[in-house]
């Protein structure tokens, strides 16, 4: 059983294959966190840890819990207003002006399976035997407020999925903060790992020792953003890829978020994650329920690789959905960096013809096919074809691509409107705005107010029309700016601080409607590159354009950081032209191709400008990729060397049966002093023998893993793709 309740000890025990999570009910009402770490089969003796005494200067909680103080007691979920004076997960203002919440244990139930969260994305099961769920009901009698803590535990995956629901049977209440998880870990000697970045530089890894007080990252930008990802890990100071304690927290949500670690003078560490409480206020009426999104917690006692492998497996198989979850995705050619806005039907068909000859399977037409859009300053919202560029319409172009034996894909930026558009002229109140204030533009555009039903319906109808009328097999869903003046014309004043979350609910509604209605269409997410590449997007977008930076060397860091949480199958990666359009660097086609093979390979350049030799090289690249993509996308990933720590990046992917290992090794700079070094592989069968594909190495798994192979920084920006097959 994955979840048990020991009645005599009042202890809940949540078990995954490799982890135990324990908490108890104290004095019949308060939940005390006991342990999160490596699996413990026999928990006898755990009682001795259950009752920390009062710390000096602490307030004792309610008379009947004396002498306990929740300020020193590790909590399971944390409320503002009583004796726990650390930063809480829950904070509300009641009708009488009070801010005290005392929600105590009332009941619990353990069920097989795992249900979804209304209106929100979440991990799922295909069969009830895959997971168990514990729901704990906490009740504030005075305010008639119920808080339900939900924990789902997978039978075969080391993940614990948490969420929180609030049900109000009392007077309307303003919820200021309702974070999805709160974990009080013993001790303070941890590092805080987060993923930060900017446009074209997403998800760089940052690691800092925790200090007394708060370490916090968040987004107030409306989407999860380029700046910080909704992920954090707390790890032991000595943790590395294969050693040490790592606690991962990943938020299945794409809007404003916060994650913080607070070290208290008691030398304990609290980690909370949820919807950002900054500028958040949810008015919960009588009889209403609020559901907070899911946090996926992963503990590993074997460092970061094991944590990432757990996220990869869970997200690839039980968060991503639809026909393309397991199926190989088409190798695509996208015209953006090839033509930008300057294209017509003939140019696109010419690119498609060359793409087809090189083995590409999908022609994607990017921005600029609609309205009068020849630059980024107009027409978003006017989703009717520009017949000067495409006289036969999208329908005609798609037919011609189809006749070539290729699939056709189309770019949209459905959440946006240009002030210079018919849509904006007809509905100036359809965008996010605040009455009486100027409307700040980002990339010359405004954001449609997806908290409104009519706006969501407009997007669904417009896109459905195109998807029904034309042979469209793929949609690139872009989103190119942050929120500003984030108000809604339809909501009353007391609900204006709900807009950011209502927007996300609207977006998820639109996305689930469209992806369910058009199950054969592959949807790829994009947000000025990787500005909204988070777990909340994966149920709709099985792959995401990872960054607008397509330079192979910059991509080493971007894809490396992204792989901390995201599986290779979700990482959209395109070979582009040189000199690279973002950084001006020149790299070989081989290096560009190899780096992109660590994700979903695509091409984004004008193929008609390449030589026959280059097209032939691309054809061979695609042939190789098609033979290896199953291993890369579904295998176990090992980050052998890090571009954040040294001069190269090396990623290894091992098929689940250890038959094949794909190694992608790329260097940043030429190093005269260290021309070659040994790279030790991981995850092979140590008793088997392996042969290098196309090379002359034959040797044992033990040799490959203990002695290693010799690789060299033979020149700047070089890269090698190596494949080892078991013989
Ligand atoms: C931003 C995306 O990240 C690019 O790939 C491209 O689609 C442009 N938008 C088009 O405007």
Report the residue among 418, 526, 541, 575 best suited for mutation to probe ligand 1: largest number of ligand atoms under 8 A from its CB.
Answer: 526
Ligand 1 center–CA 319 separation, angstroms: 25
Q: Is the pLDDT of residue 51 over 90?
A: no
pLDDT for 168? 98
Element (H, E) at 574: strand 571-576
Are 567 and 633 in contact, with CB atoms under 8 Å apart?
A: yes
Element (H, E) at 266: none
**Tokens standing for residue 45:** 């003796």
Alpha-carbon span 595 to 19, nearest angstrom: 34
Are 380 and 431 in contact, with CB atoms under 8 Å apart?
A: no
Cβ–ligand 1 contact at 545 (below 6 Å):
yes
Cβ-count burial 64-95 (b if 16+ within 10 Å, e if not): ebeebbbbbbbbbbbbbbbbbebbbbbbbebe
Say which DSSP state 727 is in: -
Q: Is the dihedral of CA 111, 113, 116, 117 positive or negative?
A: positive
| Exposed / middle / buried, residue 621 (Cβ in 10 Å: 0-12, 13-18, 19+) | buried
The residue assigned the tokens 């413990």 is 40
What is the pLDDT averaged over residues 527-545?
98
Active site residues: 478, 548
**Tokens standing for residue 160:** 């614990």
**Tokens standing for residue 199:** 């446009």
Q: Is the pLDDT of residue 118 over 60?
A: yes
pLDDT for 386? 98
Alpha-carbon span 660 to 723, nearest angstrom: 7
Upstream peptide bond of 67 is cis (omega within 30 degrees of 0)? yes
End-to-end CA distance of the chain: 39
Say which DSSP state 704 is in: I
Alpha-carbon span 465 to 273, nearest angstrom: 39
What is the pLDDT averaged over residues 6-23?
96
Cβ–ligand 1 contact at 385 (below 6 Å):
no
Residue 686 pairs in a beta bridge with none
pLDDT for 64? 63
Q: Is the pLDDT of residue 67 over 70?
A: no
Cβ–ligand 1 contact at 526 (below 6 Å):
yes
Q: Is the pLDDT of residue 225 over 90?
A: yes
Alpha-carbon span 278 to 344, nearest angstrom: 46
Alpha-carbon span 164 to 293, nearest angstrom: 7
Strand pairing class (522-525; 719-726): unpaired
Are 459 and 448 in contact, with CB atoms under 8 Å apart?
A: yes
Which residue, among 149, 180, 165, 183, has the nearest Cα to 294 in the 3D structure? 180
Q: Is the pLDDT of residue 27 over 90?
A: no
Alpha-carbon span 7 to 478, nearest angstrom: 52
Q: Is the pLDDT of residue 368 over 70?
A: yes
Rounded to two decimals, what is the model's pTM?
Answer: 0.98
Are 184 and 164 in contact, with CB atoms under 8 Å apart?
A: no
Nearest residue CA, atom 10 of ligand 1?
367
What is the pLDDT averaged over residues 406-417?
98
Alpha-carbon span 700 to 704, nearest angstrom: 6
pLDDT for 128? 98
Which residue, among 75, 36, 293, 260, has the nearest Cα to 159 in the 3D structure? 36
Lowest-confidence region among 22-26, 219-223, 520-524: 22-26
Average pLDDT over all residues of the chain: 96
Element (H, E) at 147: strand 145-154
What is the pLDDT averaged over residues 107-122?
98
What is the pLDDT averaged over residues 487-504?
98
Angle 608-611-612 (CA atoms, 0-180°, nearest 5)?
A: 100
Which residue, among 471, 455, 466, 456, has the nearest Cα to 385 in the 3D structure? 466
Upstream peptide bond of 675 is cis (omega within 30 degrees of 0)? no
Neighbours of 597 (CB within 10 A): 25
Which residue, among 288, 285, 279, has the nearest Cα to 501 in the 3D structure? 279
Residue 669's pLDDT band (cuts 50, 70, 90): confident
| Exposed / middle / buried, residue 513 (Cβ in 10 Å: 0-12, 13-18, 19+) | middle
Alpha-carbon span 44 to 681, nearest angstrom: 40
**Tokens standing for residue 190:** 């941890």
Ligand 1 center–CA 193 separation, angstroms: 29
Cβ–ligand 1 contact at 380 (below 6 Å):
no
Residue 274's pLDDT band (cuts 50, 70, 90): very high
What is the pLDDT averaged over residues 641-661?
96
Q: Is the pLDDT of residue 49 over 80?
A: no
Q: Is the pLDDT of residue 166 over 70?
A: yes
Neighbours of 707 (CB within 10 A): 13
Ligand 1 center–CA 413 separation, angstroms: 9
Alpha-carbon span 671 to 257, nearest angstrom: 41
User: Would you tell me the crossing angle of helices 393-403 and 453-469 to the nearest 10 degrees?
Assistant: 40
Alpha-carbon span 353 to 163, nearest angstrom: 49
Report the residue among 548, 558, 572, 603 best suited for mutation to probe ligand 1: largest number of ligand atoms under 8 A from its CB.
Answer: 548
Q: Is the pLDDT of residue 500 over 60?
A: yes
pLDDT for 676? 79
pLDDT for 60? 65
Residues in the chain: 727
What is the pLDDT averaged over residues 336-341?
98
3-state secondary structure of 700: strand
pLDDT for 404? 98
Number of the ligand 1 atom closest to the C-alpha atom of 604: 5
Interval 675-684: pLDDT, tens: 778 999 999 9
Q: Is the pLDDT of residue 52 over 80?
A: no
Angle 364-368-374 (CA atoms, 0-180°, nearest 5)?
A: 150
Interval 172-198: pLDDT, tens: 999 999 999 999 999 999 999 999 999
Which residue, among 647, 644, 643, has the nearest Cα to 716 in the 3D structure? 647
Are 473 and 522 in contact, with CB atoms under 8 Å apart?
A: yes
pLDDT for 643? 97
**Tokens standing for residue 537:** 């997007």
Q: Is the pLDDT of residue 54 over 70?
A: no
The pLDDT > 70 percentage for the chain reads 97
Cβ–ligand 1 contact at 548 (below 6 Å):
yes
Ligand 1 center–CA 49 separation, angstroms: 54
pLDDT for 124? 98
Q: Is the pLDDT of residue 334 over 80?
A: yes
Alpha-carbon span 113 to 201, nearest angstrom: 39
pLDDT for 69? 75
């Amino acid at each position: 059983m994955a979840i048990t309740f020991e009645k005599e000890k009042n202890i809940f025990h949540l078990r995954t294959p490799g982890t135990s999570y324990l908490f108890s009910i104290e004095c019949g009402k308060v939940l005390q966190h006991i342990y999160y770490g490596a699996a413990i089969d026999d928990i006898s003796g755990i009682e001795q840890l259950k009752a920390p005494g009062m710390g000096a200067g602490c307030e004792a909680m309610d008379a009947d819990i004396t002498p306990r103080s929740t300020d020193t007691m590790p909590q399971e979920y944390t409320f503002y207003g009583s004796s726990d004076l650390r930063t809480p997960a829950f904070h509300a203002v009641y009708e009488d002006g009070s801010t005290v919440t005392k929600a105590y244990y009332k009941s619990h139930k353990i069920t097989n399976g795992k249900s979804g969260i209304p209106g929100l994305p979440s991990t799922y099961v295909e069969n009830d035997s895959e997971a168990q769920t514990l729901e704990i009901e906490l009740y504030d009698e005075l305010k008639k407020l119920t808080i339900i803590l939900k924990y789902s535990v997978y039978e075969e995956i080391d993940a614990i999925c948490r969420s929180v629901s609030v049900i109000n049977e009392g007077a309307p209440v303003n919820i200021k903060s309702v974070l999805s998880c709160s974990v009080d870990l013993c001790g303070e000697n941890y590092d805080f790992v987060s993923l930060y970045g900017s446009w074209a530089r997403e998800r760089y890894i940052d690691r800092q020792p925790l200090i007394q007080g708060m370490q916090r990252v968040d987004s107030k930008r409306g989407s999860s953003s380029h700046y910080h990802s909704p992920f954090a890990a707390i790890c032991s100071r000595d943790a590395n890829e294969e050693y040490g304690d790592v606690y991962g927290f990943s938020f299945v949500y794409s809007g404003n978020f916060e994650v913080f670690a607070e070290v208290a003078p008691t030398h304990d560490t609290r980690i909370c994650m949820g919807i950002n409480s900054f500028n958040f206020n949810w008015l919960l009426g009588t009889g209403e329920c609020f559901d907070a999104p899911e946090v996926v917690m992963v503990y590993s006692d074997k460092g970061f690789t094991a944590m990432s492998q757990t996220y990869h497996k869970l997200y690839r198989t039980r968060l991503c959905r639809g026909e393309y979850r397991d199926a190989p995705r088409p190798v695509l050619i996208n015209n953006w960096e090839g033509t930008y806005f300057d294209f017509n039907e003939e140019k696109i068909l010419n690119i498609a013809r060359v793409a087809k000859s090189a083995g590409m399977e999908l022609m994607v037409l990017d921005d600029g096919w609609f309205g009068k859009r020849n630059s980024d300053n107009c027409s978003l919202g006017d989703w009717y074809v520009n017949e000067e560029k495409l006289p036969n319409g999208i329908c005609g172009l798609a037919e011609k691509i189809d006749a070539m034996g290729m699939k056709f894909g189309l770019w949209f930026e459905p959440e946006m409107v240009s002030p210079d558009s018919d849509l904006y002229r007809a509905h100036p109140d359809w965008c996010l705005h605040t009455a009486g204030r100027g409307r700040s533009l980002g990339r010359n555009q405004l954001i449609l107010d997806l908290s409104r039903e009519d706006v969501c319906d407009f997007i669904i109808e417009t896109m459905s029309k195109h998807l029904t009328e034309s042979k469209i097999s793929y949609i690139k869903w872009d989103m190119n700016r942050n929120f500003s003046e984030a108000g809604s014309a339809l909501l009353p004043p007391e609900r204006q601080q709900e807009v950011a979350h209502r927007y996300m609910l609207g977006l998820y509604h639109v996305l689930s409607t469209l992806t369910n209605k058009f199950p054969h269409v592959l949807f790829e997410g994009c947000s000025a590159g990787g500005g909204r590449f988070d777990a909340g997007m994966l149920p709709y977008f099985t792959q995401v354009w990872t960054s607008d930076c397509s330079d192979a060397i910059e991509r080493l860091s971007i894809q490396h950081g992204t792989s901390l949480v995201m599986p290779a199958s979700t990482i959209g990666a395109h070979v582009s032209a040189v000199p690279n359009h973002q950084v001006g660097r020149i790299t070989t086609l081989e290096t560009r191709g190899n780096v992109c093979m660590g994700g979903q390979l695509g091409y984004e350049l004008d193929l008609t400008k390449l030589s026959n030799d280059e097209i032939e090289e691309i054809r061979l690249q695609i042939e190789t990729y098609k033979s290896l993509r199953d291993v890369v996308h579904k295998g176990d990933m090992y980050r052998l060397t890090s571009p954040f720590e040294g001069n190269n990046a090396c990623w290894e992917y091992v098929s689940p049966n250890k038959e094949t290992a794909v190694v992608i090794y790329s260097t940043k700079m030429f190093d005269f002093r260290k021309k070659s070094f040994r790279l030790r592989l991981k995850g092979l069968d140590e008793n088997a023998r392996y042969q290098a594909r196309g090379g002359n190495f034959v040797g044992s798994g033990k040799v490959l893993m203990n002695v290693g192979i010799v690789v060299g920084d033979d020149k700047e920006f070089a890269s090698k793709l190596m494949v080892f097959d078991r013989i």
